[in-house]
Amino acid sequence: MLNELKKRLTGKTDSSGDAFVDALREAISPERVKFDGAHRALHGHDASVFDGGNSGPVVYPETTAEVQAVVRLANDHGRNVVPRGAGTGLAGGAIPLGAPVVVAVTRMNKILEVDVDNMIAWVEPGVVNLDLSNTLRPHGFHFAPDPSSQQACTIGGNVANNSGGPHCLAYGVTNAHVVALEVVLPSGEVAMLGGLDAEPQGLDLRGVFVGSEGTLGITTRIAVRLTKNRPEVRTLLLSFDSVTDAANTVSGVIAGGIVPAAMEVMDQRITEAVENYVGAGYPLDAAAVLLAEVDGLDAGVDIDADRIAQIGRDNNATAVRLAETDHERALLWKGRKTAFGAIAQIAPDYYLHDTVVPRSALAGVLEEVYAIAKRHDVLVMNVFHAGDGNLHPLLIFDAREEGVLDRVHAAGGEIITASLDAGGVLSGEHGIGVEKQKYMDRMFSGDDLDHQNRLRQGFDPFCRTNPGKVIPSGHSCADIQSLRNVPDKVWG
């Protein structure tokens, strides 16, 4: 990777000599249009394992008008556009293909208005997820979606990926928490999708923009729903001798008609890593732990916590612990939320998968996941949003090892197949990006994909925004192979 970086660094210098770049600099400001090798190399990647990205100029707009100016200039110059937030995406959604202009919205990071009468806040897309909730909490509210990456990822990225998090089990993923979106369309026009009123007229274009992975335009202002903080919370840590028992507890809870605020499972390898990293107080001898949280009013949380504990015991829980203090609860959650950081301490590389299976199939599919990893001789850890059946098998490897990536990809493919065969879906929250395009035809027919493409082209008839993503080539408006190569006379 370092060599790659060096090559790119020495490739081109900051002097543009390119009419498009010059026009961008004039329209925005020279300092906020970057064209040096370092910037472009940095923006050729996101947090996924995929490379092959090739960034054109990187611009940092500060207003909707500036985003609009960039999109219009790109159209005038026949260049594509890729929106980008914090670059924490795991499916390659923000990877630029075909040397487009990368529109990094990170400087649009203001919380514009908290409107309690309408139970919303207007925010710019570059606001960091955790900053939003930290700002709202003292006023009695928070933004419900809480991805594990929340210290870094942006609300715009959350919208584009319809992101989830542990507490989306009861409260729903991002789509349920976005009321209206100001969007710069691929045409360069500004549109308001959705609205603050109960039932905005027309098609739910807001609803389809959420989760469209940056292919339908760039959102520049977002009305997010405020969620009232819950007065009472109970957090339980249940320990098990097997991952199967933990998974069966999760399906038992759902079958019992309880929808907890969160239900997260971690297996032994991950709890060990977390314990060594932050000392969250997890048991080291358990094959799996289940972190379950219920919130709401006084009586209900006790009733539900008792029932979850009982269902756990019925499924052979070896210990059930109720967090006694806020500090203890915070520590338990810190363990869960730093799980990926903990991995980074012990393994040079990891590939985080993301599929969903019916909750009743969790135990069986997990067993298969371990068997698949063993067959391919890769290390797997599981830490996942068990409550909604969202698996996150984490394949750990050292990329310097000869041939290891092939084994990692082979194992990943089998995990996807196992999930689909169990009645599951390709992705629960990371999206398709470039990662899972080749699996889309396992879930959708040619006709199905054609209809998805009809929607995409309704927004972007000329395929200018984030081309080469989500819909596999053949069905989509952009051929990914040609995008991998940089067009003639465009930035190499």
Ligand X SMILES: Cc1cc2nc3c(=O)[nH]c(=O)nc-3n(C[C@H](O)[C@H](O)[C@H](O)COP(=O)(O)OP(=O)(O)OC[C@H]3O[C@@H](n4cnc5c(N)ncnc54)[C@H](O)[C@@H]3O)c2cc1C
Query: For residues 389-448, which are near ligand X according to CB under 6 A?
Result: 429-430
The whole-angstrom separation of Cα 323 and Cα 296 is 16
The window from 16-24, 152-160, 299-307, 419-427 that contacts ligand X (CB under 6 A) reads 152-160
Partner in contact with 89, chosen from another protein, ligand X, none, beta carbon below 5 to 8 Å by kind = ligand X
Sign of CA dihedral 69, 72, 77, 79: positive
Q: Which entry of another protein, ligand X, none binds 470, CB below 5 to 8 A by partner kind? A: another protein
Over the Cα atoms of the chain, what is R_g? 23
| Closest-CA residue to 120 (of 202, 228, 211) | 228
Strand partners, 121: 114, 224
Residue nearest ligand X, Cβ-based: 157
Identify which of residues 147 and 468 has a Cβ nearer to ligand X in the complex: 147
Q: Residue 57 or 252: which CB sits closer to another protein?
A: 252
Residues forming a β-bridge with 34: 58
Q: Hey, which residues between 46 and 85 contact ligand X (CB under 6 A)?
A: 46-47, 82-85
Q: Is 341 in the site for another protein (CB under 8 A)?
A: no
Q: What angle do CA 68, 131, 213 make, to 5 degrees?
A: 45
Picking from 411, 374, 383, 364, the residue whose alpha carbon sits closest to that of residue 269 is 383
Residue 233 is a binding residue for another protein (CB under 8 A): no
- Residue 428: both structure tokens together: 């629960």
* Residue 153 vs 253, nearer CB to ligand X: 153
Question: Do residues 378 and 397 touch, judged by C-beta distance below 8 A?
Answer: yes
Q: How near is the Cβ of 327 to ligand X at its closest, in Å?
A: 23
Q: Which stretch of DSSP H or E encloses residue 7?
A: helix 2-11
The item of ligand X, another protein, none sharing an interface with residue 448, based on CB under 5 to 8 Å by kind, is another protein
Alpha helix segments (H runs only) across 137-238: 155-161, 168-171, 205-209
Minimal distance in Å, beta carbon 183 to ligand X? 8
- Identify the CA nearest to 152 among candidates 46, 303, 311: 46
CB of 429 to ligand X, least distance (A): 3
| Residue 122 dihedral angles phi and psi, to the nearest 5° | -90, 125
Binding residues for ligand X restricted to 94-133, rule: CB under 6 A: 94, 105, 125
Site residues (CB under 6 A) for ligand X, limited to 187-216: 213-214
The mark string for 264-293 relative to another protein (x by CB under 8 A, - otherwise) is ------------------------------
Q: Tell me which of ligand X, another protein, none is bound by residue 423, counting a contact when its beta carbon lies within the kind-specific cut-off of 5 to 8 angstroms.
A: another protein
Residues 353-372 close enough to bind another protein by CB under 8 A: 356-360
> Which one of another protein, ligand X, none interacts with residue 158, CB within 5 to 8 A by kind?
ligand X
Quick check: 154 binds ligand X (CB under 6 A)? yes
Closest CA to 238 of 202, 281, 292: 292
Interacting positions 271-330 with ligand X (CB under 6 A): none
**Structure token digits, residue 286:** 């358990």
Q: Does 186 contact ligand X by CB under 6 A?
A: no
* Alpha-carbon span 234 to 104, nearest angstrom: 39
Beta carbon of residue 5, minimum distance to another protein (angstroms, whole number): 31
Say how far apart CA 331 and CA 279 lie, in whole Å: 8
- 467 is a site residue for ligand X (CB under 6 A): no
- Per CB under 8 A, the segment of 6-14, 16-24, 45-53, 257-265 that binds another protein is 257-265
Sequential DSSP letters for 80-136: -EEEESSS--SSSTT--SSSPEEEEGGG---EEEEEGGGTEEEE-TT-BHHHHHHHH
**Min separation Cβ 215 and another protein, Å:** 8
Q: Which residues bind ligand X (CB under 6 A)?
A: 46-47, 82-90, 93-94, 105, 125, 147-149, 153-154, 156-158, 160-161, 163-165, 213-214, 218-219, 340, 429-430, 466
